Structure 1
Amino acid sequence: MVKLTIDLVEGAMQYTNPLRDRELDLRGYKVPAIENLGSTLDQFDTIDFTDNEIRKLDGFPLLQRLKSLIMTGNKIIRIGEDLVSSIPNLETLILTDNNIAELKDLDPLAPLTKLTFLSLARCPVTMKMNYRLYVVGRMPQLRFLDFKRITQAERKQARSFVKHLSPLTTAVEANSNKTKTSAVKTFVPGAPVGSKATNDENSEAAKPPQQKHPTNNQPREFPQATLHAGVKRVMLSGGSNQDLLAIQDAIKKAKTMDEVERLHQMLSSGQFAGFAAHWHKQQKH
């Protein structure tokens, strides 16, 4: 696999494109990561990385001149958290045909206040429910998303969507944090450091407390904050009150914490339209 070396960067084709921008052509080299762009001396408005093997959008030095970044046909699954500190003036980002799958993975793009044109076409994330509302709500500076102009009606709906999304996200994260456990080192009198007795104690301390299965007389508790926020989002998600009640019933009857977490994630992401029909069908079997 080719590495993006200084020699490769300096020897790549460079020209003035039809928009009168200075462009660096790094297409098709199959490089796995972005690096050594400091050798460009910040002389380009556009850099084209089409058809490489890049998996994470990061590795940029400070490039204040860079306005357009073309990343079509890579394997990007993550976006660097500090992207705005490296390319603060980015206006156009083309991420068509990559592997970004989750809505939250797009959050690092929000601080790019000058970003007005974004394409995520043919990325798995575009199949997520409320994808456009989420992106427009998180990035109100955008004017075009996936080559389609963002309308004022979309902006209004997106603001409402994000407003109702935030409390639910906070509630789910707080609930998730409560379930996390950490190993506590235990000193066993008379046992040497690193002994089996000490290690066994530490191993037991690291285990999460066992959850008792709910009985018919002891239904599983459904977090009221999550339910309240979920009700507000029923109309936004395309689901119905029946879908929401079905999820509540499913959580009460869940037998494992993994199943409970999966149902909470479904509710928090708004992807529960049609759940009632699926749940009732499952209960008949």
Structure 2
Amino acid sequence: MVKLTTELIQNSMQYMNPCKDRELDLRGYKITQIENLGATLDQFDTIDFSDNDIRKLDGFPLLKRLKCLLLNNNRIVRISDGLEQYLPNLESMILTNNNITELGDLDVLSTLPKLKTLSLMHNPVANKQHYRAYVAYKLPELRLLDFRKIKQKERDEANTLFKSKKGKEMQKEITRKAKTFVPGGNMPDAKVTNLTPQEIHKIREAIKNASSLHEVERLTRMLQAGQIPGQKPLQPQTQASNGQQEEEEEMETDANGQ
């Protein structure tokens, strides 16, 4: 785990990429959050944050020059509101292999005025019903989604769907899910499940590292049932069960003595 410091930024590789853009390479440092980018002095067209541990896309200063963000292979679950205030000229955002889950989580991207290219491949959200149609509808200026062109016919069909009565109901449900789903949230406390704080922490860490919504839901159900990943269910220790356990231990001792 590395903190994104001014020194790290200044010492990282900087070069002209094949697109003739000036790029800052911050790959693979295990950075957990974006910060201190004022140290770039807004001198880069592209910043590569691939292969880190970033969970939320925020923390940007005003970067008028920045056109492309590469964020492959992180753990991003949330995109901050108001990015257009800090990244007004962003054209391309590559979020391949992250943990964005709900269609409604993508609404904030609609405020980026120049966004033309977006990749959400290998995110849970890409498996949602009407995924491409919803993105095409919400981001009318987008040209490439997951490296496939959004055709005009596809956009027209998306507009027809989401402007219909059925589509408006779908949008309400999409918004509701985005507001209520919190990765690792809504966790019962130790008193309910008879888990120790250390066991609760272990499951929280497993949920944080989960690669899909299905895995998050499975781990949450395990916690609610009083289970730890890889172990048998934990049962409440009543006086009766304690007494039974002691009796069994005594019988085992007698058997061994014989």
| TM-score calculated relative to the size of structure 2 | 0.65
Partner of 1:19: 19
Q: How many residues align?
A: 176
CA distance in 2, matches of 1:80, 1:13: 27
> Are the aligned partners of 2:70 and 2:93 in contact in 1 as well (CA < 8 Å)?
yes
> Displacement of 1:162 after TM fit?
2.2
1:126 aligns with 2:126: yes
Partner of 1:29: 29
> Displacement of 1:167 after TM fit?
3.4
> Which runs of structure 2 are paired with 1:10-89 in the superposition (5 Å)?
10-89=10-89
Provide the secondary structure at the position in 1 that maps to 2:111. Answer: coil
Q: 1:74 to 1:160 in 2, by over 3 A?
A: same
Partner of 1:168: 169
Runs of 5+ unmatched residues, structure 1: 177-285
> Displacement of 1:170 after TM fit?
7.4
Residue by residue over 1:246-275, the C-alpha shift from the partner in whole angstroms, topping out at 9 and shown as x without a partner, is xxxxxxxxxxxxxxxxxxxxxxxxxxxxxx
CA distance in 2, matches of 1:166, 1:111: 21
> Displacement of 1:155 after TM fit?
0.7
Provide the secondary structure at the position in 2 that maps to 1:93. Answer: strand
> Which runs of structure 2 are paired with 1:1-285 in the superposition (5 Å)?
1-164=1-164, 167-168=168-169
CA distance in 1, matches of 2:7, 2:114: 31
> Are the aligned partners of 2:104 and 2:175 in contact in 1 as well (CA < 8 Å)?
no
Provide the secondary structure at the position in 2 that maps to 1:39. Answer: helix
Runs of 5+ unmatched residues, structure 2: 178-258
> Are the aligned partners of 1:138 and 1:162 in contact in 2 as well (CA < 8 Å)?
no
CA distance in 1, matches of 2:131, 2:175: 24
CA distance in 2, matches of 1:103, 1:172: 10
> Are the aligned partners of 1:42 and 1:63 in contact in 2 as well (CA < 8 Å)?
yes
Instruction: Indicate the RMSD between aligned Cα atoms, in angstroms.
Output: 2.0
Residue by residue over 1:82-108, the C-alpha shift from the partner in whole angstroms, topping out at 9 and shown as x without a partner, is 111110110010000000000000011
Q: 1:52 to 1:133 in 2, by over 3 A?
A: same
| TM-score calculated relative to the size of structure 1 | 0.59
- Identity between Structure 1 and Structure 2 (%): 56
Provide the secondary structure at the position in 1 that maps to 2:38. Answer: helix
